[in-house]
A and B are shown apart, each in its own frame.
Chain A
């Protein structure tokens, strides 16, 4: 309300500024009076120069003649634009146009461009009154302030890095992981998490940086499954399908039958055309293996500009959403969809998906996993989510 009051006052003042000169006709002055003044000044100056001996008498006379000619030229020129007091009818038109036109134009432009309903948010006010929903943000901000003062606190960086990832700020997460490694030293676990953060920041592409992190992790802990898996993906993305197959086959050989990542390995192998998985290690429900982008999709993604890549990712996400609409009983699918929305920064869509997931997933255990994820990501299911 106060904002609009001030806006109306400003507008009124602007209208007054435009209209004020219309009330009285200004004092009329001959249009060449100003030029005449300049030439008179020049004559004075000439006199001074002459008195000080800076110009000879002859030159001064010539110059005087020149200035005089300028003065005469002023007289001979017709007064180009005689002005009148103006007609009252015209003035009324201008008055109406100003009173109506100025606010109409400025209000409509402002409504198009501005955000009058957004409250101001000075930092001091926000730190004093943390609301429930921004708790995690306040915590992050405090941690950031702490780290700004103590940038060598490696533990701090390590704590905040995964939080960034969950808040959909993978770039910050990468930076934090790098700081943690720089200060606390490199371990396989840290390199793996760094690699995964880069992978997330690069929209699911194993870039050279990510690859370097996974290679380091693999060197530090050759048995760890994640580096081997991602190095396989990297090889696949680069078109080295043989190398990818070698990585995955080796990994599969070391993978216990009940390992949680086994389906992902099998699915990745399937994409490479390897279907003759050794018997006995065959996963129970291969159909539930994560449906990721195909090799062709990934290869295409590497050729794309960032906008195109974004469009492809959004296309994949909407495809997943469409599939889940028809087959809602798929906890894995929902988890991936919710994560994607959070990473893409579409919190409303994430909230809707959370509601649909809780309604659609029938198995109790699966539901709990979805709930855990929702709590983890800080997604609030949309309104009708209570049941």
Chain B
């Protein structure tokens, strides 16, 4: 059967058909609303699901072509190789421009289908509009894929061997990082669609914030995980142990995260108090706009160089057109309709609302900072041709100081009451956390040998966040103020969203500790070693035993053998290596990492390997894993909040039915 017809062609057709259904989805529900015809509106319930299945077929067909090494498909030939391990044949599907855009569209279609399938708690008019807006985005991106980045282009006659996947991407990270990131990016399209739909309806109330919340939260949870995964991947694969580079591609994913975090918090105010409506709608539009901008920056080739843009202008111009149409259109609609919106509840500056406004101010300013740092060099190069690099120093000087007041204020937020709050009372209750933070700072100062004051204080800030979260939890369950049984009962009955807040904020604290620990207290040795020589780093002795060649499925490897031990304790072996991928003639560095508690010993080989001598970079990174563990905990906090009963999907039903359950818990 295979060989007589191409499965890729079936996928190609399914993708074209999905485009046609997206067109239906974009128009028919709106016509139904215009003509007040319920049945036409109901088309918005079935088409997104069919569209998702069709894009799924297309994606499966491309995957099948990769698995079978069908090099008559240009995309497979360009990015695969018959000797590549099966995992990378599959992940290679999205390890390239065309395939990753197909994944983008697949996730977009998935979210449309989810709204159609689980949006029963939404008013039918709002749901139809959300799905139609989602259809516009889907149509634009399907056209982009089919016309400028078609993964189903064929070659005849087919070449016998493929060009292989960029070896840096041949890693388990490719299996996890892009899908997570894209679910996050694309998930914000739902918040965008909700915002545009609400502006079209001219009806925006507190209920809207609750409806949009689970979608925003889900996208945010995945984006958090995706960014953290990407950071860890860069850390162990790029070979010099950095975990964040302020690289434009990273910033492209970080900006929607910052704006999305602001959105999550402002939506809480809107839901509880009906305030900040206009602002929340604007944030929803901006968050997805930043996702689109990120896609544009990464996918048009603008980032590698302004000139790479010119090599394939059709793609860049196409995404730019999508960007202008959606961002410009949504902002124009916003400008037109926002003045009609009624303002909601009032509040004093010192209140939960006030704290969340504070949060939003700082997060949005931080987003703007990152945006400027990312776009300014591009704009400058485009206008004057001058190349400058805005690197870590710029961001450390701007982004860092913005984060400090935000993080210092963070533990107060959950302790403040709505409307007007008692700051003095909150400070009193946080006294324990302040003491814990100061103790941690003093201990760090002493352990570090009395060098520097800022770093111990920064570490104390992390402890402050964790302890502050615990205080919030203790307050909620009246820990030590009520009998243990009562506290336990309150803990069990605690709304998941409150628990999620505690966990997510504590995760941020862990991240801060990890960042400070590894940035300030890392020790590193860069030496050349002959077999038999050793290097000492942070009390560990690394004995270099020699190099040995290893042959992998599609690469050769020079593996260095190290025996590491601390003060004569049981030694363990570490084997950093250099890999050489034959098909692309590219080398990669594989670092050896040993995790000790929350800290890591990191050994990688330098560029020069000659006559048995190796250049070695050995570093001890205290508490480094807390960076990613903290992000993971934060992400789990979001997921916990997502399981809150308020957000569970359900059609309207009598509220009384829920009361007994809460009482019995």
Contacts and interface: CB of A to CB of B under 8 A. Distances in A.
Interface of A: 2-3, 6-7, 10-11, 13-14, 17-18, 20-26, 28-29, 31-45, 48, 52, 54-55, 59, 62-63, 66, 70, 73, 77, 80-87, 90-91, 94, 98, 102, 105-106, 109-110, 113-116, 118-126, 134, 137-138, 140-141, 144-145, 147-149, 151, 175
Interface in B83-103: 83
Nearest to A131: B157
B424 interface: no
A120 B20 contact: no
**Which of A24, A28, A86 counts the most chain B CB atoms within 10 A?**
A86
Contacts of A138: 160
B16 A113 contact: yes
**Which of A59, A102, A147, A148 counts the most chain B CB atoms within 10 A?**
A148
Given A113-B16, A125-B2, A80 B655 contact: no
B2 A120 contact: yes
A11 B10 contact: no
A91 B65 CA distance: 41
B524 interface: no
Nearest to B67: A122
Given A113-B150, A121-B3, A124-B68, A86 B38 contact: yes
Contact of B50 (A18, A34, A44): A18
B439 interface: no
B2 A122 contact: yes
A interface, over-half SS: helix
B82 A26 contact: no
Contacts of A119: 3-6, 72
Given A29-B652, A44-B655, A80-B125, A121 B161 contact: no
Contacts of A7: 10, 13
Given A17-B21, A121-B3, 6 more contacts: A34-B121, A34-B123, A83-B124, A102-B24, A110-B13, A116-B9
A11 B24 CA distance: 14
A10 B83 CA distance: 34
Given A10-B13, A141-B160, A120 B37 contact: no
B652 A123 contact: no
A17 B49 contact: yes
Given A38-B210, A45-B646, A81-B33, A118 B652 contact: no
Contacts of A14: 17, 20-21, 50, 54
A85 B655 contact: no
Given A44-B659, A114-B12, A122-B68, A39 B47 contact: no
A80 B495 CA distance: 34
A306 B317 CA distance: 22
Top 6 closest pairs, chain A to chain B, by CB: A86-B37, A17-B50, A120-B6, A122-B68, A21-B42, A141-B160
12 contacts: A3-B10, A10-B54, A25-B38, A35-B207, A59-B419, A86-B38, A102-B21, A106-B16, A118-B156, A119-B72, A120-B9, A125-B3
Given A2-B4, A118-B9, A18 B47 contact: yes
B70 interface: yes
B7 interface: yes
Interface residues of B, number: 93
Contact of A134 (B6, B10, B32, B157): B157
A35 B123 contact: yes
A109 B154 CA distance: 16
Nearest to B206: A70
A22 B43 contact: yes
B385 interface: no
Contacts of B43: 18, 21-22
B476 A105 contact: no
Contacts of B653: 37
A293 B211 CA distance: 71
A70 B582 contact: no
A105 B20 contact: yes
Nearest to B45: A21
A106 B20 CA distance: 6
Given A98-B24, A122-B70, A84 B36 contact: yes
B35 interface: yes
Contacts of B419: 59, 62-63
Interface in B261-312: 272-274
A365 to B, nearest CB: 34
A33 B655 contact: no
B39 A120 contact: no
Contacts of A24: 39
A114 B9 contact: yes
Nearest to A45: B646
B416 to A, nearest CB: 12
Given A18-B46, A39-B207, A144-B161, A84 B38 contact: yes
Contacts of B210: 38, 41
A220 to B, nearest CB: 25
B585 A175 contact: yes
B274 A66 contact: yes
Contact of B205 (A29, A35, A44): A35
A131 to B, nearest CB: 10
A123 B3 CA distance: 10
Contacts of A40: 655
A95 B125 CA distance: 22
B518 interface: no
Interface string B61-72: 000010011111
